[in-house]
Amino acid sequence: MLWSVLPLAFRFESPGPILVELGPLAVRWYGLLIATAVLIGVTLSQWLAKQRRVDPEAIADLALWLVVGAIPAARLYYVLFQWREYAAEPLQAFAIWKGGIAIHGAILGGTIATILFCRIRKLSFWQIADLIAPSLILGQAIGRWGNFFNSEAFGRPTDLPWKLYIPLDHRPLAYRSFEYFHPTFLYESLWNLGVFGLLMGIFLWDSRQPQPRCKPGTLFLTYWLAYSLGRFWIEGLRTDSLMLGPLRIAQVVSLLGIVLGGLGLWWLYGRRRSLPDTIADSAWSYNQLPPQRESH
């Protein structure tokens, strides 16, 4: 009896990409979710910074750099690998509100922006990256729901109870006769929430120690390793992967993330050595932080 009810309980169908229309203006779910993720992420990272005695204003300043660096890079990454779709109408490459951004491009652009910011402000990249990592993975969990509203980034056809209905005009030609597909947006969102819980658990445990036990870079490397593990298998289910010949780009990058994350953690705790930073002498080590500015 219960099994006959489950298909109805877990059947997903997007109400459409537009939340509300005001004359010629339209508020899209995708843009709202990105804005929400940024707002929540900045607030969380500022709270984490306070726990580490890092000036939260530095995180607020960095937020603008991340938006400018990550979102255009995410779009450019996607467009480069899907150029045949945009060659006839190049201006559509700027229509980011319609979806089509790649998280690996966002991470690359955001990392470059953070490195530049840290060099200018003379901060340790790894310490700042640790404060951003939980917000980043939480933002990814929120942002994946934009794929749901846009009816994109779904998996192969399925008859499982947790299936996603895709409108005919969004289905690949090879799957036009199928209605229901793996909700890979949901798989990745739930995986990312699990990684968020892991990172916050490590951070809170470390914060309760008399002296920090986690070395700078631990959370960011753990993020890379854990997220990449989930993304690798989820990407294998998708029907719209960015491809380079026969290779799924996201899986290649995920394998690289697993290797680099694992090697970095081994370097920190196996070799017991610090990671090379963007500045040689950081006055912002956990034991040498300037006092917080008082709130008024």
Q: Domain tally for the chain?
A: 1
Token pair recorded at residue 72: 């255009």
Residue 86: what pLDDT? 81
278 within a domain of the structure (yes/no) = no
pLDDT in tens, 185-232: 999 999 999 999 999 999 999 999 988 899 999 999 999 999 999 999
Residue 11 has pLDDT above 60, yes or no: yes
**How confident is the model over 111-124, as a mean pLDDT?**
95
Q: Are 105 and 75 in contact (CB under 8 A)?
A: yes
Residue 262 has pLDDT above 90, yes or no: yes
Q: d(Cα 206, Cα 202) in Å, to the nearest integer?
A: 6
What is the pLDDT confidence band of residue 245, given thresholds at 50, 70 and 90?
confident
Q: d(Cα 231, Cα 191) in Å, to the nearest integer?
A: 9
What is the pLDDT confidence band of residue 90, given thresholds at 50, 70 and 90?
confident
Helices within 173-267 (DSSP H only): 184-207, 218-235, 249-265
Q: What angle do CA 242, 64, 216 make, to 5 degrees?
A: 80
35 within a domain of the structure (yes/no) = yes
Token pair recorded at residue 94: 């700027």
CA separation (Å) from 284 to 43, 201, 216, 267, 288? 21, 23, 11, 21, 6
**How confident is the model over 39-56, as a mean pLDDT?**
95
Q: d(Cα 223, Cα 219) in Å, to the nearest integer?
A: 6
The more confident residue out of 278 and 291 is 278
74 three-state secondary structure: helix
What is the pLDDT confidence band of residue 78, given thresholds at 50, 70 and 90?
confident
Q: Are 163 and 11 in contact (CB under 8 A)?
A: yes
Domain containing 231 equals 26-270
**How confident is the model over 146-155, as a mean pLDDT?**
93
Q: d(Cα 18, Cα 149) in Å, to the nearest integer?
A: 8
180 within a domain of the structure (yes/no) = yes
277 within a domain of the structure (yes/no) = no
The more confident residue out of 98 and 89 is 89
Residue 286 has pLDDT above 90, yes or no: no
58 within a domain of the structure (yes/no) = yes
80 within a domain of the structure (yes/no) = yes
Q: Are 289 and 143 in contact (CB under 8 A)?
A: no
**How confident is the model over 97-122, as a mean pLDDT?**
89
Residue 17: what pLDDT? 92
Residue 71 has pLDDT above 80, yes or no: yes
210 three-state secondary structure: coil
What values do phi and psi take at 13, rounded to 5?
A: -145, 125
Q: d(Cα 216, Cα 211) in Å, to the nearest integer?
A: 13
What is the pLDDT confidence band of residue 99, given thresholds at 50, 70 and 90?
low
What is the pLDDT confidence band of residue 3, given thresholds at 50, 70 and 90?
very low
Residue 182: what pLDDT? 96
Tell me the pTM: 0.87
Residue 284 has pLDDT above 60, yes or no: no
CA separation (Å) from 27 to 22, 32, 91, 96, 283? 8, 7, 20, 13, 44
14 three-state secondary structure: coil
**How confident is the model over 287-294, as a mean pLDDT?**
43
Q: d(Cα 99, Cα 80) in Å, to the nearest integer?
A: 15
What is the pLDDT confidence band of residue 9, given thresholds at 50, 70 and 90?
low
218 within a domain of the structure (yes/no) = yes
Residue 6: what pLDDT? 47
Q: Are 150 and 164 in contact (CB under 8 A)?
A: no
248 within a domain of the structure (yes/no) = yes
